[in-house]
Amino acid sequence: MNSRKKSTRRDFLTKVSIGTAALSVPNILAARSTGIRKEILEPEYVKKTYSANDKIRLATIGFGIQGIGDTANAVGVDGVEFVAACDLYKGRLTRANELYGQDIFTTRDYREILAKEDIDAVIIATPDHWHERIATDAMKAGKAVYLEKPMIKNIQEGHNLIKVQQDTGSVLQVGSQGMSGIYAAKARELYKSGAIGDLVMVEIHNDRYSSEGAWQYPIPPDADPDNIDFDTFLGSAPKVEYDPVRFFRWRNYQDYGTGVAGDLFVHSFSTMNFVIDSFGPVRAKSTGGLRYWKDGRDVPDIMMSLYDFPEAENHPAFNAVLRINFVAGGGGGGAFKLIGTEGAMVVGWRSVMVTHSDMGWRPTGYALKSYSENIQKEINKMYDAKYDQQRGKMLNPQDTVFEASSTYKGADHDHFLTFFGAMRGNRKVVEDTTYGLRAAGAALLSNFSYFEDKAVGWDPVNMQLL
C-alpha cells in the first residue's frame, strides 16, 4: 500500500456526532432505520453590486435546449449581462429576442460573436463535433469559455484544447455542473473523513422512460433549408442531404454526438473524480444495444459499462458500474452510490446520504446449525473474545442525510459562479481542459469498447488510449 491516509468510520462518527441533532425525516428515509440523522447544508452566497462598466458581457453560441438553460443560470450570477446569441436555426434567435429583448445581437455565424470586442465570455452549447473548433477560436479571440460537456468528441481534440488554453492563458471551464454542487463538496469531505472506509465499488445508473428523455425532440413546423443553415451544422462531419431530424436530434448520431456515454457518463466521471480525487480508470468493457428507439439513430439506447480503477494516492483500487437505460418501463430515476468497506454514500442533486450496516462478524444459526450445542457455545465464546474490540463496527449507527437548504440555488448556478469568479481573478475553475479530458476520455472509453466489442485500456495520467 502507498502512503494514502486511511480514515475509518469511527473517525467519521466522532465528527458527525458533534453539533448535529437527530431530526424528523420523510417516510421514504425513515423507513430504512429508526434513527436517521439530518443536517442542513447552507450555501454561502454574498450579494455583490457591479457598475455597468464592471459587468461581464456574455454571449451564447448554440441557443438550443442546453444553451437556453445555461444562459438562464449564468445571468443569475451577479454582474453578468447577456448581450448576444448565435444559432443556425432562425427560430432560436427569435426565441433569444423573446427572452432577452430586441436589443441583443443575434447571428447565425459564431465568428461574428468572437469578433465583437465588447463580449467577454461565451457559452458554447453546440453539438459535440463543433466543441473543439469553436472553443479554440474563442480562446484565441480572447474570450473566456464555458464549454458544455463532453469537452471533446475524440481524444486528440482534448490535447489540442489543453495546448490552446496553455498558450492563450484563457479561462475555460467545462460544463459538468454536478461537481460544483454543495452536495458534491460535502461528499468529498465525507469521503476524506472515512465515512465509508475504503472505497471498493461505485454504482451509477440513469433510467429514462420518455421520448424527450430519449432525445426524440419535436421538430418545429418551420424547419426548412431557409431557416436552418444545415451545411454549416455538418461542419467536419460527412456531407448528407438536408435532414431536420439530424439537426434537432443530433445526439442520436455518431457523426455529431457521443451517445449516452458522452452525454451522461461524463457527468458521473466529473463528479466522481472530484469527490475521491481520482484521475480516472485504466480499463473499460461495455455492452448494450438499440432495443427500442429504432428511429434512425446509430447509438445504443441501453449501455452498461464496467470500469477498473487503479490504486492511487487518494483511493484504493476499486470497480465502477455505470448504466444507462432509455427504455426503463418501470419508471425513470437514477442513483450515484459509492460503496466502501464500512458504509455507503448516495450522492443526489441536493443531498448526500451516508448509510451503515452490521458487518456480520459473528456467526449465525446458518453457519452454526451443523455443530453440537456445546461446540456452538465454544465458537460463540471464541468470537466474543476475538471481536470484542470490533463491537463498534458491529453496531448499526444512525444513517446521516446532508441536505441542501431551500435557499440553495443549485449546482448550475454555483458552476457559473466559479466560472465568472475565475474571470474576475478571485476563484479558480474546477474543470479546466485537463480535467475535462480526463472526464470525457473515461466516458468515451465506453463507446470505444461498445463499438469495437472489446475491453479498452486507458492511461488516466497521460490521457491516452492503450
Segment among 204-213, 245-254, 348-357 with least mean pLDDT: 348-357
Identify the CA nearest to 82 among candidates 66, 95, 62, 101: 101
Mean pLDDT of 218-240: 98
212 phi, psi to nearest 5 deg: -65, -40
* Other CB atoms within 10 A of residue 416 CB: 27
Please state, rounded to an integer, the average pLDDT across all residues of the chain: 91
Residue ranges of the alpha helices (H) in 127-265? 131-140, 155-168, 182-193, 230-234, 244-248, 259-260
User: Where does residue 458 fall: left (phi above 0), alpha (psi -120 to 50 degrees), or beta otherwise?
Assistant: beta
- Extract the C-alpha cell encoding 385: 473474545
Confidence at 8, pLDDT banded by 50, 70, 90: low
Mean pLDDT of 23-27: 33
Torsional sign, CA 371, 374, 378, 380: positive
* Cα of 147 vs its chain's centroid, Å: 14
- Predicted TM-score (pTM) of this structure: 0.90
Q: Measure CA of the first residue to CA of the last residue in the chain; give whole Å.
A: 25
Q: Which residues contact 48 (CB under 8 A, 6 or more apart)?
A: 78, 79
Confidence at 15, pLDDT banded by 50, 70, 90: low
Residues 40-85: pLDDT tens digits? 999 999 999 999 999 999 999 999 999 999 999 999 999 999 999 9
Confidence at 358, pLDDT banded by 50, 70, 90: confident
Q: Which residues contact 170 (CB under 8 A, 6 or more apart)?
A: 138, 139, 142, 143, 144, 145, 164
More confident residue, 399 or 225: 225
Query: 423 in helix, strand or coil?
Result: helix
Residue 461 half-sphere exposure toward CB, CA atoms < 13 A: 4
The pLDDT of residue 27: 33
The pLDDT of residue 132: 98
The pLDDT of residue 30: 34
Segment among 128-142, 279-293, 363-377 with least mean pLDDT: 363-377
Confidence at 5, pLDDT banded by 50, 70, 90: low
292-317 as b/e, with b when 16 or more CB fall inside 10 Å? ebeeebebbbbbbbbbbbbebeebbe
Cα separation, 99 vs 298, whole angstroms: 34
Confidence at 406, pLDDT banded by 50, 70, 90: very high
Cα separation, 395 vs 285, whole angstroms: 38
More confident residue, 392 or 463: 463
The pLDDT of residue 9: 53
The pLDDT of residue 32: 41
The pLDDT of residue 35: 65
Mean pLDDT of 394-408: 81
Cα separation, 331 vs 189, whole angstroms: 32
Question: Please, is 46 exposed, middle or buried when counting C-beta atoms within 10 Å of its C-beta (0-12, 13-18, 19+)?
Answer: exposed
The pLDDT of residue 37: 86
More confident residue, 398 or 380: 380
Segment among 22-31, 342-351, 360-369 with least mean pLDDT: 22-31
Asked whether the predicted pLDDT for residue 122 surpasses 90, the reply is: yes
Please spell the DSSP secondary structure of 358-403, one letter per residue.
Answer: ----S--HHHHTTS-HHHHHHHHHHHHHHTGGGHHHHS---EEEEE
Q: What angle do CA 382, 385, 389 make, to 5 degrees?
A: 135
What is the edge-to-edge ordering of all strands in the sheet holding 302-309? 36-41, 399-404, 351-355, 344-347, 333-340, 199-207, 318-325, 302-309, 283-289, 456-459, 464-465
Residues 284-340: pLDDT tens digits? 999 999 999 999 999 999 999 999 999 999 999 999 999 999 999 998 899 999 999
Cα separation, 106 vs 117, whole angstroms: 15
Mean pLDDT of 246-255: 98
Mean pLDDT of 276-288: 98
Confidence at 395, pLDDT banded by 50, 70, 90: very low
Asked whether the predicted pLDDT for residue 195 surpasses 90, the reply is: yes
C-alpha pair distances (Å), 168 with each of 163, 164, 232? 9, 6, 27
Residue 386 half-sphere exposure toward CB, CA atoms < 13 A: 9
The pLDDT of residue 389: 56
The pLDDT of residue 394: 46
